[in-house]
Structure 1
Amino acid sequence: MVEEWAPKRVVITTDPSALAESVAARFLSRVARRIDEGKRAHISLTGGSMGSAVLAAAARNPRVGRIDWSQVHFWWSDERFVPAGHPDRNDVQARAALLDALDIPAENIHAVAASDGDLDLDAAAAAYAAELARFAVKDAPYPAFDVCFLGVGPDGHIASLFPDRSEIQITDRTVVAVRDSPKPPPERVTMTRPVINASKRVWMVLSGVDKASALGLALAGASYASVPAAGAKGRKRTVFFVDEAAAAQVPPELIDREY
């Protein structure tokens, strides 16, 4: 793929609740538009409190029942390698918040293998890479996500790509295993940066004053190796959706008051 990405913009909402509602409304609007155009939509989800809050807000939105979810495929940028049904799993959180309430074919929900299944950690990563490849686009062995949701940790990590670790540097694989994660649980599966950055839209959703430093560094052009959020870029849109507490260090010229 030709490496062309949209500039980073920041959209500020007052508080976490309003932030979740606003992002959820934008998400449903984007999916509906895609389906109305007669196209299939691929969405990459994230975990964490804000990831779940956005999905729960989408479930409450009246528009959710007017979308043909059979044309939507859900993925995860990373997953904790723990048993199926474990509350730490991102797919468990997403199903409880939204997916279980949708009229969507089971095969449209692409979950990473669990630790109590037949696959070990490396095999789980390889299997997810193979699943991505089933929906390959013309010039890459994975789908181009219409929206890739990402959370951002206080340390600037995205998915399970943590600062100053080898996984953030990998470009020759689409999915990798993570061991000894600096954040528990220690074993994870994560998409790599090329897959994330092939997304049409990267939407990073973060709230709280503890995220202000990471956001500031990401916007200031920090090295993606040290601040992975700085290296997350969408081809059409790269947007940080934040609350006022997280926006303490945002330069005024980067605030998007129209998007």
Structure 2
Amino acid sequence: MPGSGRAQVSVFPSGPELGASLAALVWQEAGRGTGPGGRFSLALSGGSLVTLLSRELLRAPEPCRDWLWAYCDERRVPPEDPESTHGQYLAQLLSKISIPEKQVLSIDHTLPVEEAAADYSKKLKEAFPGQDIPVFDLLILGLGPDGHTASLFPDHPLLQETQKIVAAISDSPKPPPERITMTLPVLNAARTVVFVAIGEGKASIIKRILETEEENPLPAARVRPGHGKLLWFLDEAAAKELTGPVEQHSVL
């Protein structure tokens, strides 16, 4: 990966094999959680990841109750809206394993977008006392066909943000327009970051991110953990244009 020698690319035959290995990664990282009090902390992304991850984590839910859950970004919509990442995880996973509400850091959609971002930032700082930038044990990121990740979009001013750990966006090129997102300093502070991408529609942008040097890197290419691991989990369709070394996984 341009600018980083730490990226490891793993390719799986299909979504189910990828999902099982992603869950295994979560359990592995949870076993060495090093947050406050030894607590494991992870931040999730939405979209197809919700079903993929929820199905696998439900197989062994007990330890999940001790984890700290957060979101890499969120749309400013109520939980019952299908666009709500929190609402989708609540329906498919969190409500089924009785996670205490205080251990899930969610965004207050009732606040104006700037206030919602400030409120979420406050929650993160309270959950990670003494850390100017929260250090998550694991971040799971998706990838848009334009190279965006979380709610950080190409050529957007938020890519230059260095002071805030959470930012509001009211002009998202992808609806809905109002969103709250972790910034690059938080993404790059994590101990492990894994990108997950499935489908042929992501193949060309993945090749561009992983195998092309650019003067103005796409948002996903700017995720380069300063002291952590960077992983990419792809299915064969998403990886079809890559020419560099990858780790192939067989059917489970």
What's the TM-score, normalizing by structure 2?
0.89
Q: Residues 245 and 172 (structure 1 numbering): CA distance in 2 closer, same or farther, change over 3 Å? A: same
Contact preservation (8 Å) 1:16, 1:243: yes
- 8 A contact 1:135–1:142 mirrored in 2: no
C-alpha separation in 1, matches of 2:148 and 2:215:
9
- Which residue type is aligned with residue 49 of structure 1? S
Structure 1 portions without partners, runs of 5+: none
Q: Does 1:199 align with 2:197?
A: no
Q: What does residue range 11-50 of structure 1 map to in structure 2 within 5 Å?
A: 11-34=10-33, 39-50=38-49
* 2:94 paired residue among 99, 106, 114: 99
Question: What is aligned with 1:75?
Answer: 70
State the number of aligned residues.
Answer: 244
Which sections of structure 2, spanning at least 5 residues, go unmatched?
none
How far does residue 78 in structure 1 lie from its aligned partner after superposition?
Answer: 0.4
CA contact (8 A) 1:46 1:90 kept: yes
Sort the Cα spacing of 1:20 and 1:68 in 2 relative to 1 into closer, same or farther, 3 A. closer
In the aligned structure 2, how far is the partner of 1:44 from the partner of 1:243? 22
For 2:86, give the aligned amino acid: D
Question: What does 1:43-62 correspond to in 2, within 5 Å?
Answer: 43-59=42-58, 61=59
Counterpart CA distance in 2 for 1:224 and 1:27 is 33
Which position in structure 2 is the counterpart of 1:249? 241
In the alignment, which residue of structure 1 is the partner of 2:139?
148
Q: Is the 8 A contact 1:215 1:247 kept in 2?
A: yes
What's the counterpart of residue 121 of structure 1?
A: 113
Q: TM-score, normalised by structure 1?
A: 0.87
Q: CA offset at residue 257 of structure 1?
A: 5.1
The SS at the match of 2:230 is strand
How far off its partner does 1:64 sit?
2.8
Q: Deviations over 1:47-86 (max 9, x none)?
A: 0113431222221x2x333x2622x100101000112321
Which residue type is aligned with residue 34 of structure 1? G
- CA-CA distance at 1:251 after TM superposition: 2.8
Shift of 1:168: 1.4
Report % sequence identity: 34
How far, CA to CA, are the matches of 1:224 and 1:125 in structure 2? 30
Q: Which runs of 4+ in 1 moved over 4 A?
A: 221-226
Shift of 1:25: 2.2
Give the Å deviation of 1:223: 4.3
Written as runs of structure 1 = structure 2, the 5 A alignment for 1:180-199 is: 180-199=171-190
Question: How big is the shift at 1:32?
Answer: 3.5
Q: How much has 1:124 moved relative to structure 2? A: 0.3
Preserved contact between residue 6 and residue 236 of structure 1 (Cα < 8 Å)? no
